[in-house]
């Protein structure tokens, strides 16, 4: 992989105005604010704009025009390389460790971009523990002793814990927002921090997608703290699909979120994510290419979804549609309609 070099970035910003730099790298606004340079003249090139700054203002930070430019180049280069490294992930590999009894898992599973793997097992069996191992990119240093490889290689501690280069995004059962932002501000902040090109277009795409996934529509001006569980999960799934560069997505029990879960999974895989989903939902479990069966805190076995199971999904989808219709009737204060369901004949609903 060819990483972006400082010289490339330096050449790219040398002749651009401050405004053009901010369009290409919105997060640079935060860089300028950190050095009290938020009032730079936007129509000037970086060099010309810095000439108008009193030298003592930069000296407060131990910098001059040249060293500040070098710091900016390093800042943009680091962000660009982190993005490129994440986008270059083609697969992850789970190397088994030990279960609660200390017995070896004897498992090696490689999962490629665009693939969905479900994680199934009884409540308390250790599904969330496996998700935690993947999230921290474990290197044999967790209680399970599992190891996670990226593109077939182990990661250093620096790569694992670099906050600017997060390889894994996790969508938990409860999405609790603490920021007093509305949806538009929240999406704009994420687009800026992730260096999204065509940010406004991506924001609108995320918003429209989240409303498609959510059970109840919401507006751009609603506070994220006022979103329901289903709405917040829908927003984060759309955000992860269209804005996040994290190549690996972990989802914990999406069936409880009140969203179109099948569409959500399809959206993530279409955007070249590696998706692992912990679930009790047969529709999601069998819709995956493989499923990891967890028992007694360990990986018991890995199962390929069979042709017969794929065929049975049609019947499961019919049953799921009936249950959805009943839920909708209850939600909107309607009488539940009598249902003639013949469970004796395959496919009959």
H/E element holding 83? helix 65-87
Find the helix packing angle between 229-242 and 199-213, rounded to 10°: 140
Instruction: Give SS3 for 185.
Output: helix
Q: Which pairing describes strands 290-295 and 298-304: parallel, antiparallel, or unpaired?
A: antiparallel
User: Residue 66 above 70 pLDDT?
Assistant: yes
The pLDDT of residue 173 is 60
Among 58-62, 255-259, 279-283, 311-315, whose mean pLDDT is lowest?
255-259
H/E element holding 249? strand 248-252
User: Residue 156 above 60 pLDDT?
Assistant: yes
- Mean pLDDT over residues 262-282, rounded? 85
pLDDT band at 347 (very low <50, low <70, confident <90, very high): very low
Residue 125 has, within 13 A of its CA and on its CB side, a CA count of 16
Residue 146 has, within 13 A of its CA and on its CB side, a CA count of 28
The pLDDT of residue 219 is 93
Q: What is the pLDDT of residues 163-184, one digit of tens each?
A: 656 788 887 665 566 677 899 9
Calculate the alpha carbon distances from 265 to 35, 141, 248, 259, 273 in Å: 42, 30, 13, 11, 10
Q: 283 with 297: CB under 8 angstroms?
A: no
| The length of the chain, given as a count of residues | 349
Q: What is the pLDDT of residues 70-129, one digit of tens each?
A: 888 888 877 766 666 666 788 999 999 999 999 999 999 999 998 999 999 999 899 999
Output the average pLDDT for the chain. Answer: 83
Q: How far apart are CA 317 and CA 282, in angstroms?
A: 10
pLDDT band at 344 (very low <50, low <70, confident <90, very high): very low
Tokens representing 311 are 């065929």
The pLDDT of residue 257 is 56
Residues near 1 by Cβ (< 8 Å), separated by ≥ 6?
A: 84, 85, 88
Domains plus CATH for the chain?
Answer: 6-87 (no CATH), 91-305 (3.40.50.300)
The pLDDT of residue 148 is 95
Q: Please tell me which of 139-153, 192-206, 208-222 the model is most confident about, judged by mean pLDDT.
A: 139-153
Q: 131 with 252: CB under 8 angstroms?
A: yes
User: Residue 271 above 60 pLDDT?
Assistant: yes
């Amino acid at each position: 992989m060819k990483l972006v070099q400082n010289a490339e970035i330096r050449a790219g910003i040398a002749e651009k105005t401050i405004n053009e730099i901010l369009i290409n790298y919105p997060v640079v606004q935060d860089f300028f604010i950190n050095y009290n340079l938020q009032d730079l003249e936007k129509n000037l090139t970086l060099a010309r704009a810095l000439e108008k700054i009193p030298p003592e203002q930069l000296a407060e930070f131990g910098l001059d025009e040249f060293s500040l430019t070098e710091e900016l180049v390093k800042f943009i280069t680091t962000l660009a390389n982190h993005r490129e490294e994440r986008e270059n992930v083609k697969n992850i590999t789970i190397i088994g460790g030990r279960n609660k009894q200390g017995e070896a898992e004897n498992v090696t599973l490689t999962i490629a971009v665009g693939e969905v793997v479900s994680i199934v097992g009884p409540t308390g069996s250790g599904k969330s523990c496996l998700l935690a191992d993947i999230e921290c990119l474990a290197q044999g240093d967790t209680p399970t002793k599992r190891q996670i490889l990226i593109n077939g290689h182990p990661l250093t501690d620096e790569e694992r814990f670099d906050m600017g280069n997060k390889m894994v995004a996790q969508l938990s059962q409860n999405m609790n927002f603490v920021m007093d932002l509305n949806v538009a501000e929240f999406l704009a902040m994420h687009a800026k921090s992730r260096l999204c090109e065509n940010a406004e277009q991506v924001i609108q795409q995320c918003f429209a997608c989240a409303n498609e996934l959510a059970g109840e529509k919401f507006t751009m001006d609603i506070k994220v703290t006022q979103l329901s569980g289903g709405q917040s999960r829908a927003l984060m799934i759309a955000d992860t699909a269209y804005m996040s560069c994290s190549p690996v997505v972990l989802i914990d029990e999406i069936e409880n979120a009140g969203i179109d879960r099948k569409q959500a999974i399809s959206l993530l895989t279409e955007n070249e994510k590696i998706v692992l989903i912990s679930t009790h939902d047969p529709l999601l479990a069998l819709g995956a290419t493989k499923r990891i069966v967890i028992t007694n805190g360990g990986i018991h076995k890995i199962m390929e979804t069979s042709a017969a199971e794929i065929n049975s999904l049609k019947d499961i989808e019919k049953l799921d549609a009936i249950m959805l219709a009943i839920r909708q009737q209850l939600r909107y204060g309607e009488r539940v309609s009598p249902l003639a369901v013949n469970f004796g004949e395959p496919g009959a609903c």
